[in-house]
Amino acid sequence: MRKFVIMGIQGSGKGTQAKLLADDLDLVHLSVGDILRWNVQNHTKLGAQVTRIVASGELVSDDLVETVIQDRLALHDWNYGFIVDGFPRNARQAEFFLESYDIDGVIDLDLPDSEVERRVLARRLCSGCGLDYNLIAHRPKIDDVCDVCAAPLRTRSDDNPQALAVRLREYHDKTRPVIELFQRKEFVVTVDATRSAPEIQAELRTRLGLPALTTS
Ligand SMILES: [Zn+2]
């Protein structure tokens, strides 16, 4: 059984790396974002709560996220282990989490703020079908026009330098104490996330002592 925590700012490729590990090692990928989105889409009680919080301009609290993760882990359907993404949110939660579960490693995807900016500010969204584009990695064939439905592409309202600077500061302020606590108590693998997804995955596996990913 293997238990990991994965941390990284938006644009660091955290979801991709978590999925590569989870699929290959039969781990359950516990993504707070995915769980909340699923609940909103399926109109559960939790989903209604999240919708209310977001509509009032608030952020989902650390306590609510903790409940979501604890409830999910309590299902005990993770026979081969899990990889947690989006939790813990603060040092208290990290401490409690480490006491409750024997974590094998904490993965920290490191991306400089300048690169986060470059990646996030390159994001575009189709105003028609909602398809995601990225002017670095996934350009439309014709500038500013969706390949699929030909509608104009737009930028998300919060993907601007001012809003991003606030998100970056919040991320560092919140994450630093968690990473420091993990570094004191647990094995933290910090990898340079500016490289390609396969290169990052290969380094993670080497450093975590996992077998190399076999491409079939
Ligand atoms: Zn479209």
Query: Per residue in 109-145, pLDDT tens?
Result: 999 999 999 999 999 999 999 999 999 888 999 999 9
Residues within 5 A (CB) of ion ligand 1: 126, 128-129, 131, 146, 148-149, 151
How far away, in angstroms, is 41 Cα from ligand 1 center?
Answer: 21
- pLDDT one-digit tens code per residue, 23-41: 999 999 999 989 999 999 9
pLDDT for 215: 64
For residue 65, the one-letter residue type is V
The C-alpha atoms of residue 191 and residue 130 are separated, in whole angstroms, by 32
The C-alpha atoms of residue 200 and residue 103 are separated, in whole angstroms, by 21
How far away, in angstroms, is 124 Cα from ligand 1 center?
Answer: 11
How far away, in angstroms, is 156 Cα from ligand 1 center?
Answer: 14
The C-alpha atoms of residue 97 and residue 87 are separated, in whole angstroms, by 9
The C-alpha atoms of residue 9 and residue 11 are separated, in whole angstroms, by 6
Q: Which of 93-102, 140-149, 167-176, 204-213 has the highest mean pLDDT?
A: 140-149
How far away, in angstroms, is 30 Cα from ligand 1 center?
Answer: 30
How far away, in angstroms, is 148 Cα from ligand 1 center?
Answer: 5
How far away, in angstroms, is 27 Cα from ligand 1 center?
Answer: 34
Q: pTM of the predicted model, to two decimals?
A: 0.85
How far away, in angstroms, is 152 Cα from ligand 1 center?
Answer: 8
